Amino acid sequence: MTNTVRKLHVPTCAKARQTTIPIGKDFRLIADAYCWTLQRHAGVRKNRRTGNSESHWRPVSYHPTIELAVAHLAELRLRLSGAQSFAELLQEQKETRKLITNALAPLDIDDAQDNTPLRV
């Protein structure tokens, strides 16, 4: 018997397209054909090959749905907030909700190329 290795079929769309949703200055969501990745900004580095400065992002977590990725981000921000009272925690929760809502706000119909409404 010969041992053969089967290559995983990657859809063409997974190679060419990637969704990137910035959430504030420290986090972003990246989506490919398989999952949502929550990433945290790790600083700016100089590219050795080109000499240009580039933002560097590190993965924090991987999720099968955007709902789980956003829920994890909200929980993470609350845990890392440094809140010392329940009132401070509630304030951080409000700020987190506003940050996520603004990042995931639906496209304004007036900005669309055609006047057909988006269906989600």
The answer as to whether 116 is a domain residue is: no
Q: Which of 9-13, 17-21, 106-110 has the highest mean pLDDT?
A: 17-21
The answer, as to whether pTM is greater than 0.85, is: no
Q: Report which of residues 104 and 53 the model is more confident about.
A: 53
Q: What is the mean pLDDT of the chain?
A: 81
The answer as to whether 1 is a domain residue is: no
The answer as to whether 38 is a domain residue is: yes
The answer as to whether 64 is a domain residue is: yes
The answer as to whether 110 is a domain residue is: no
Mean pLDDT calculated for residue range 6-29 = 74
Range of the domain at 61: 13-105
45-69 confidence digits (pLDDT tens): 888 888 888 889 999 999 999 999 9
| pLDDT score, position 46 | 87
The answer as to whether 55 is a domain residue is: yes
Mean pLDDT calculated for residue range 99-111 = 69
The answer as to whether 5 is a domain residue is: no
Q: How many domains does the chain have?
A: 1
The answer as to whether 34 is a domain residue is: yes
Tell me, letter by letter, the H, E, C secondary structure of the chain. CCCCCCCCCCCHHHHHCCEEEEECCCEEEEECCCCEEEEEEEEEEECCCCCCEEEEEEEEEEECCHHHHHHHHHHHHHHCCCCCCHHHHHHHHHHHHHHHHHHCCCCCHHHCCCCCCCCC
